[in-house]
Structure 1
């Protein structure tokens, strides 16, 4: 027995190794925190350089610092929605996924993030009800601080809450504290609230539809590789067409105004070109692959990377409003001295949101990737592609309509849509039963689902506990952010006023 005991020297070396690992982890956390603090300070310096001579310069600098802090938290919490499925399916490494997300987040915010900023900053609170610039500024700052603190807390405990819920709840709570319930534009709020319910359902339906298409026309075909050569280029072209149509309609409007019909024509043309280029590429990739599902996953690598980039672009276009919407309203109020006129978005304000989201996801984002990418349901590259493309299409539609929907709701809804569809398809699909049937003596017997209830519960493809946890977090976020914002308003209005 003595021969199996670990020598004292080995034990001491193990202890030293554990101490080194712990010190390394602590050091990484301190570096991330230090870099984030440096970014926040730089944002304050830039704001001071632009607004130093203005009467409300100090308030603008404070708002810029808070807006930068808010953007960092959005990046830290919402990164899972963009790259979680890709990383969870092992189609992309964490480093490459974060780099792609950071680049396209910034591009989406700077190119197409303007319209939804107007909704978040002006559509929730009626400007006439808070016409005093000091009151309006205090309300916007309270909304920023409350939502940022709530998202930071959620990120710390590992909960993927909705940043859109947080900021909308913060704006609503501050508006009620400032001027009563009548200050809130309940028509706009009802439309936004409806989109919170509709968007995850729509995301789940679209993701399930794409997965059904892939299973029907590719996976459960006798020659999977030939089917993939035919349909994977089509899926890539759909993604490219959607992205091109959105960019033409939203991203180029400052140069040339393009209507919806023209944008769709441009998207169709780009889709055709992409399909032409993708066919030979997929054909080359499929040479020598075995006729099995594992081989199909390799062919979905490029579509998954592109869809993750598209989702990041759409997320930046939509969620930058959560960071800089109230900040833009504060800057406008301080510069022009009124609340009622239309908000213009300075470039430096957009840059604060875009860079803050990117830095937040690079520095703190990986913590929540496991929840969306691995813990809800098992994802492979094909399922992850359906989730990413579905979420991107849904977010793009919402951004085009100017609705600040929750990308968290959409992405998680798409993940649940894929998981629940897999459960249904596994238990009830006649095509699947026929494909996996066992031939015995020339007779075909279908594989039946397990009838034992405990075994069926164990084999569920979607973890119900995570579903309940996520829904509970969504429900709590709005009232919590609103209550915190209302309390903060009473303190800030005394300081600003």
Structure 2
């Protein structure tokens, strides 16, 4: 175990607070459809979602998403102050969007903050690992499209399979199935989102061990993460506790304002979103659960008719998605300068 300097301890605590906030910020994504279809009460839904968020700790062991986030910036440019500024900016933006009920991406908030703080220190884009950033940005657009496409196909398939079943009987069965589809979605949510700060905590540990000096390009980030099992355990616990706290302001937007969802459509939306999250976790791509489930809900609505989707709401969501990384980057740059100039932390 590495020694814990004061700055390192602050980073670990704030990183876990971010994971906790991520949980209650994104809990609405996990429970929106199952609450709007009245399969579970809001309280039952958050307990169910939190349980499966934590179960993801036992399922996802390779930590590919955490490794990608940690390597968004070249290791030799990272400092403890950059990590601290990025996490503070991410917490600020998450709380701000939660307060106004805007379902923005916690993932992209953190990545934007990390990049912004690094740019504030170095001043040029060479600090960014463009391949990792590129696939993250690409999936800002692809993850909701994949979720939408899968939900559209699954909904059509379900409606065809259940076409001869009495409506009341089909609804009864799909209310039961929605427990499983929501569990799968929460599992994917935990597996993807809990990993976001795991990589940053690991880099901070390595920096602290190295006396705050720059890391080598081939720094053993993933190996160190695997050797320190308390990191994933703490992060999965934090996000599960956050989910338990709920995110009631965002439930209305995700569960009812995009389109009205039935139990059958809830199964389709959650199954599509879960498949997308688990796929991207396997590929090591940090995606937004918000983007994914919103796309899936739109795909479900589009099977009725295009006008069933409230496109005005979705346009506002898209604006929040697009602005998250640059706004978080600017906020993180300001915080970095404040930490180094006013509080005299090492650059």
Unaligned 5+ segments in structure 1 are 1-49, 225-290, 425-459
Task: Report the Cα distance in structure 2 between the residues aligned to 1:407 and 1:107, rounded to whole angstroms.
Answer: 17
Which of 204, 208, 216 is the matching residue for 1:334? Answer: 208
> What corresponds to 1:74 in structure 2?
22
- Structure 1 distance, partners of 2:156, 2:185, is 21
The answer to whether the aligner puts 1:190 opposite 2:134 as a matched pair is yes
In structure 2, what is the Cα distance between the partners aligned to 1:162 and 1:421? 26
**Deviation (angstroms), 1:111:** 3.8
3-state secondary structure, aligned to 1:404: coil
Does 2:59 correspond to 1:115? no
Alignment of 1:42-441 (within 5 A): 54=3, 57-109=5-57, 111-112=59-60, 114-122=63-71, 124-128=72-76, 130=77, 136-179=79-122, 180-219=124-163, 221=164, 224=165, 291=166, 293-337=167-211, 339-340=215-216, 341-343=219-221, 344-345=224-225, 346-423=228-305
Shift, 1:208, TM fit: 0.5
In the alignment, the residues of structure 1 paired with residue 311 and residue 258 of structure 2 have an alpha-carbon distance, to the nearest angstrom, of 8
- Of structures 1 and 2, the one with the larger relative CO (CA 8 A, separation 6+) is 2
Which residue in 2 is equivalent to 1:465? 312
CA distance in 1, matches of 2:46, 2:158: 27
CA offsets per residue over residues 122-156 of structure 1, 9 Å max, x none? 2x10123x1xxxx5211111111101110011101
> Could you tell me how far 1:296 is from its partner in structure 2?
1.1
CA contact (8 A) 2:69 2:111 kept: yes
Give the 3 Å change call, closer, same or farther, for CA 68–304 of structure 1 in structure 2: same
Q: Is the 8 A contact 2:66 2:197 kept in 1?
A: no
| Within-5 A mapping of 1:18-29 | none
Partner of 1:91, secondary structure, is coil
The alignment covers a number of residue pairs equal to: 334
Secondary structure (helix, strand or coil) at the match of 1:300 reads helix
Residues 89 and 335, structure 2, Cα contact 8 Å, conserved in 1 = yes
Root-mean-square deviation (CA, aligned residues, Å) is 1.7
Alpha-carbon offset, residue 335 of structure 1: 2.5
Residue 480 in structure 1 maps to residue 327 in structure 2: yes
Contact 1:383–1:418 under 8 Å retained in 2? yes
CA contact (8 A) 2:24 2:245 kept: yes
CA-to-aligned-CA distance 1:58-114 (integer Å, 9 cap, x gap): 012101221122112111111122121111111122122111111111121454162
2:113·2:332 contact (CA, 8 Å) conserved in 1?
yes
Structure number, greater radius of gyration:
1
Give 3-state SS (helix, strand or coil) of 2:247's partner.
Answer: helix
- Following TM superposition, by how much is the alpha carbon of 1:477 offset from its aligned partner in structure 2, in angstroms? 1.0
* Contact kept in structure 1, 2:28 and 2:246, CA below 8 Å: no
> For residues 339 and 231 of structure 2, what CA distance do their matches in structure 1 show?
22
CA distance in 2, matches of 1:380, 1:332: 49
Provide the C-alpha distance between the structure 2 equivalents of 1:295 and 1:302, rounded to a whole number of angstroms.
11
Aligned partners of 1:175, 1:107: CA distance in 2, in Å? 34
- Which residue matches 1:451? none
Alpha-carbon contact 1:67-1:352 (below 8 Å) kept? no
Segments of 5+ residues of structure 2 without an aligned counterpart are: none
